Amino acid sequence: VSQRAAASRPGGRSSRVLTAIYTAVGELVGEGADKISFPLIAERAGVNPTTLYRRWDDVNALLEEVAVAALTRCSESPPDTGSLERDLTEWAEIIARDITRPERTRYLRATVSARVEIVSRCPVMETRREQALEMVQRARERGESTPTVTQILDHIIAPLYHRVAFALEVEPGYPRQLVRDVLAMAR
């Protein structure tokens, strides 16, 4: 049984434990806790630290899982408006609003601090890649010319995350401008 499956099974003991753990992580990140460790999370969640050591390889794996859960909850399925430009603009605006919320910005910065070695998997980017692929495939079926999925990630997602990580302002028109730029690549 995966963490996700356990989390969605209603009423189970492991579901309650997982909710407590996720909530504790969310609170600690939200408070800007300096050094988030298994014992600290366990204490806040009221669970035995061994529960954490057994389920996750390290604290970063847990942080990442919580970040992805928070992310996918906000935007399971990408917009479907009938035009790639509108789809991408709505999607980029949702993401910009999401990552500029103070708690999400803290998550994002916590991710940067937590990653000291090159990572081989970045679940947040994988989720974004799947969403981008869905929008691009629909556009191609409609006969629109499209940028590649990689271009969408490099030129919409990366600049948005860059601004938020480095505490630069994300102006309201910024997501739309990035979408215009990336669509110009496809022409």
CA distance 155 to 149: 10
Count of CB atoms within 10 A of residue 153's CB?
A: 16
Residue choice 85, 98, 144, 181 for contact with a second copy (CB under 8 A): 181
Sign of the four-CA dihedral 129, 149, 158, 171: negative
CA distance 187 to 184: 5
For residues 39 and 173, which CB has a smaller minimum distance to a second copy in the complex? 173
Residue choice 167, 173, 175, 179 for contact with a second copy (CB under 8 A): 167
1 near a second copy, judged by CB under 8 A: no
Length of the chain in terms of residues written: 187
Two tokens, residue 181: 């730029």
Query: What is the per-residue binding string for a second copy in 81-120, x denoting contact by CB under 8 A?
Result: ----------------------------x-xxx-xxxxx-
Two tokens, residue 182: 């990336």
Min CB(86)–a second copy separation in Å: 20
CA distance 69 to 4: 9
16 near a second copy, judged by CB under 8 A: no
Query: What is the per-residue binding string for a second copy in 17-36, x denoting contact by CB under 8 A?
Result: ---------------x-x--
Site residues (CB under 8 A) for a second copy?
Answer: 32, 34, 109, 111-113, 115-119, 122, 125, 151, 154-155, 158-159, 161-163, 165-169, 177-178, 181, 184-185, 187
